A and B are shown apart, each in its own frame.
Chain A
Amino acid sequence: MNNPPMTLSDYRRRGVLDALVLTLPAIPFALVFGLTVRESGLAAWLGWSTAPIMFSGAAQITLITLIGEGASLAAAATAALVVGARHLFYSFSMAPVMQQQPSWFRWCGPYMLIDQVFALCVDKRHLPAAEFRHYYLAAGATFWSFWMVFTALGLFVGPVIPQGLDISFATPVLFMGLLATAIDGWRKVVVAAVAMAVTLALLDLPSRSGLLLAVVVGIAVGLILEWRRPS
């Protein structure tokens, strides 16, 4: 490598740029959230307050939709918690990397541990601690700012993305790319395929709980493969 080593500010810039690419396909989602708030009959500020307080798109939409439909608050909250439960896996997965980090970051970092930040940072877990932290914070702050602004915009403008232009597919596309680069070894290919198949098979379980089971089954399959043929 002839390139000069990357400085901390290079890692921050990289974090912002990587996150920006992931924010683009999330624009329709953010606008839809604004529309969900309007249709729920909640005060706009109250519905939007879930953005900074929860900072969890799918869980926010679940909570607001169910409240709007007249479900009991307990039922809406439970469903939203189940939708958000995949974050438990992120927390577990990040725990060893976070051991190298200062305590303030272990307390603040989880607030922004959303799907996109996890997907970007899991690939960076072998970086030195400071580089990892700067990248994580830059990506997280970028996504946070985006989410605050565009969910608020959605309250007023509604979905302005033309129907014919199906940009929402870009999100699974980018996650698929991140998944591919996170995979080393054939066992992880099997694990990913199993997790996809189980998710599909359990699609009709309430509140996306099939996803949670799929992850557990996927991990179990990985461990079994390793135990059968240790390398």
Chain B
Amino acid sequence: MILLVILLMGLGSYGMRAIFILALADKTFPPLALRALEYVAPAVMAALVMTMLVDPGEGGAPSAAEIAGLVTAAGVALLTRNHIYVLVTAMGVYWGLGQLL
């Protein structure tokens, strides 16, 4: 029974990722949809970052060290476009401030 549910979940998981890609494969996008598309990535990635930082029920906002780490990450990413530099500098700021505060 549980295996059946897992298989259905797999179908659902794939379905949610595939639905628009397959359904709109040969459709022309109306101008409004194309403009909305531009904002999907920034909106969903920003929401995802926030979801990763705060747990439901805690009611808190991100800590100062976390905010500083994120600002560093954004800045270094814009300057260098290098994931390793982003990782090292932002984690450094986060850990460093964590020790100080």
In the complex, chain A residues whose CB is within 8 Å of the CB of B86? 173-174, 177
Q: Kindly identify which residue among B6, B17, B23, B81 contacts A181, using a CB–CB cutoff of 8 Å.
A: B81
- What residue in chain B is nearest A212 (Cβ atoms)? B47
Are B52 and A99 in contact, CB atoms less than 8 angstroms apart? no
Given contacts A53-B7, A172-B53, A223-B36, contact A198 B47 (CB under 8 A): yes
Q: Does B24 contact A (CB under 8 A)?
A: yes
- What residue in chain B is nearest A222 (Cβ atoms)? B39
Whole-angstrom distance between the alpha carbons of A8 and B17 in the complex?
A: 25
In the complex, chain A residues whose CB is within 8 Å of the CB of B1? 73
Are A173 and B9 in contact, CB atoms less than 8 angstroms apart? no
Given contacts A53-B9, A110-B14, contact A223 B35 (CB under 8 A): yes
For chain B, give the interface size range: 35 or more
Given contacts A215-B40, A215-B44, contact A203 B54 (CB under 8 A): yes
Q: Does A13 contact B (CB under 8 A)?
A: no
Tell me if A's interface is mostly helix, strand, loop or mixed. helix
Q: Kindly identify which residue among B16, B42, B98 contacts A183, using a CB–CB cutoff of 8 Å.
A: B42
Whole-angstrom distance between the alpha carbons of A103 and B22 in the complex?
A: 9
Q: Does A180 contact B (CB under 8 A)?
A: yes
In the complex, chain A residues whose CB is within 8 Å of the CB of B23? 95
- What residue in chain B is nearest A99 (Cβ atoms)? B25
Are B39 and A81 in contact, CB atoms less than 8 angstroms apart? no
Are B34 and A122 in contact, CB atoms less than 8 angstroms apart? no
Are B10 and A178 in contact, CB atoms less than 8 angstroms apart? no
Given contacts A56-B13, A81-B12, A113-B17, contact A119 B56 (CB under 8 A): no
Whole-angstrom distance between the alpha carbons of A92 and B27 in the complex?
A: 12
- Contacting residues of chain B (20-72) with chain A, CB-CB under 8 angstroms: 20-26, 29, 32, 34-54, 56-57, 59, 61, 66, 69-70
Q: Does B3 contact A (CB under 8 A)?
A: yes
In the complex, chain A residues whose CB is within 8 Å of the CB of B49? 172, 175-176, 179, 196
Are A173 and B69 in contact, CB atoms less than 8 angstroms apart? yes
Given contacts A122-B41, A181-B78, contact A18 B83 (CB under 8 A): yes
Q: Scoring A residues 169 to 202 as 1 if CB is less than 8 Å from chain B, else 0, what string do you get?
A: 1111111111111110001100111111011100
Binding site for B on A (CB under 8 A): 18, 21-22, 24-25, 42, 46, 49-50, 53-56, 59, 63, 67, 73, 76-77, 80-81, 84-96, 98-99, 103, 106-107, 109-111, 113, 115, 118-119, 122, 166-167, 169-183, 187-188, 191-196, 198-200, 203-204, 208, 211, 214-215, 218-219, 221-223, 226
Binding site for A on B (CB under 8 A): 1-3, 5-10, 12-14, 16-26, 29, 32, 34-54, 56-57, 59, 61, 66, 69-70, 73-78, 81, 83-84, 86-87, 90-91, 94-95, 98
User: What would be 29 A-B contacts, judged by CB atoms less than 8 Å apart?
Assistant: A25-B87, A46-B3, A89-B43, A93-B44, A98-B25, A111-B17, A166-B95, A167-B91, A171-B52, A173-B73, A173-B91, A174-B86, A175-B49, A176-B74, A177-B76, A177-B83, A179-B49, A180-B74, A180-B77, A181-B77, A188-B38, A192-B45, A195-B42, A195-B47, A196-B46, A196-B49, A199-B51, A208-B51, A219-B36
